[in-house]
Amino acid sequence: MTDQALSIATTVNGSPLSTRVEPRWTLAELLRDHLRLTGTKVSCEMQVCGACTVLVDGDPVSSCTYLAADVHGRAVTTIEGLAGGQELHPIQQAFVEEFALQCGYCTPGFVMMAKALLDENPSPTTEEVVHHLEGNICRCTGYAPIVAAVLRAATLVRERADGWTPTSQRPPFPIRRPGTTSLRLDALAKVTGAATYAIDMAMPGMLYGKAARAERAHARIVGIETTAALTV
């Protein structure tokens, strides 16, 4: 921590947090590297893909470009802050039921963006959902299940507002009989941010590697200088 570090007081998923951050840290760095809330994903790191979406005072932001110091006095909500114990948020439940995930890497960003939409507009049309999610990129699902999940979540949110509450006794993945559709066994981890990818792993003294690209398109390798590598 340098002499330029700033003291901030914020709230993360409902819990007060007082800490120091470097002026250059992004909110994603604070959440992932220092608070170990790795449900927030990073991909493009230039505010294009939406994988890093979190809510700041209820508004969706790209945490890969949003400075950590700017959350001073504000409330941050990540994918880890949506589920209430064993009870999924309606959006998370809908993503499970509608098979709105594949690899799951982009799922937290979609869920958080959907949360912002339904908080503002609890009864969106299909066109409104598509427009709201256009800043989030998915390379697996084809988007149709995601849109269906958001529309399904809107129904669940309205039902909950009318007094419906999910039973905590119902297992998240009920056993289905042969010939019927089964829910994905990895869905719960992916919609809650608990799924761990290689980029989320951290170990004491962990080293990082970088791919060395050849400077010539066609060449014969006659030797590799390893002196610098062996000093690490």
Q: CA dihedral defined by 54, 144, 150, 131, rounded to 10 degrees? A: 70
Helices (H) and strands (E) in the chain, counts: 7, 5
pLDDT score recorded for residue 168 = 36
Residues 149, 143: Cα–Cα separation, whole Å: 10
- Look at 46-60, 76-90, 200-214 and tell me which has the smallest mean pLDDT: 200-214
pLDDT, greater one: 95 or 85: 95
* pLDDT (0 to 100) of residue 184: 81
What is the tens place of the pLDDT at every residue in 127-150? 999 999 999 999 998 999 999 999
What pLDDT is stored for residue 101 in this prediction? 93
DSSP 196-226: --GGG---TT---------SSSS--------
Phi then psi for residue 113, to 5 deg, are -65, -40
Does residue 169 surpass a pLDDT of 50? no
Mean pLDDT across 205-220: 85
What share of the chain has pLDDT > 70, as a percent? 91
CA-based nearest residue to 50, from 146, 184, 155:
146
Closest alpha carbon to 80 in 71, 68, 92: 92
Rounded Cα–Cα distance for residues 51 and 40 (Å): 7
CA–CA dist 22, 19 (Å, integer): 10
Residue 10 CB burial class (10 angstroms; 0-12, 13-18, ≥19):
buried
Model confidence at 173, in pLDDT bands (50, 70, 90)?
Answer: very low
Tell me how far apart the alpha carbons of residues 73 and 84 are, in angstroms, rounded to a whole number.
24
- What is the reported pLDDT for 209? 82
Mean pLDDT over 147-172 rounds to 72
What was the pLDDT predicted at 22? 96
For the record, the structure tokens of 112 come out as 């958080």
The span from the CA of 102 to the CA of 91, in Å, is 16
CATH number of the domain at 90-192, please?
Answer: 1.10.150.120
Query: Using one digit for the tens of pLDDT, what is the confidence trace for 10-35?
Result: 999 999 999 999 999 999 999 999 99
Mean pLDDT of 165-193: 65
So what's the pLDDT on residue 20? 96
For the chain, the structural domain boundaries read 6-81, 90-192
Write down the CATH number for the domain with range 6-81: 3.10.20.30
| Sheet of strand 53-56: strand arrangement | 15-21, 6-12, 75-77, 53-56, 59-62
pLDDT of residue 178: 59
Residue 92 scores a pLDDT above 80: yes
Q: Percent of the chain, pLDDT > 90?
A: 69
Helix or strand or coil: residue 189?
A: helix
Provide the mean pLDDT of the chain: 89
Q: Give pTM, 2 decimals.
A: 0.83
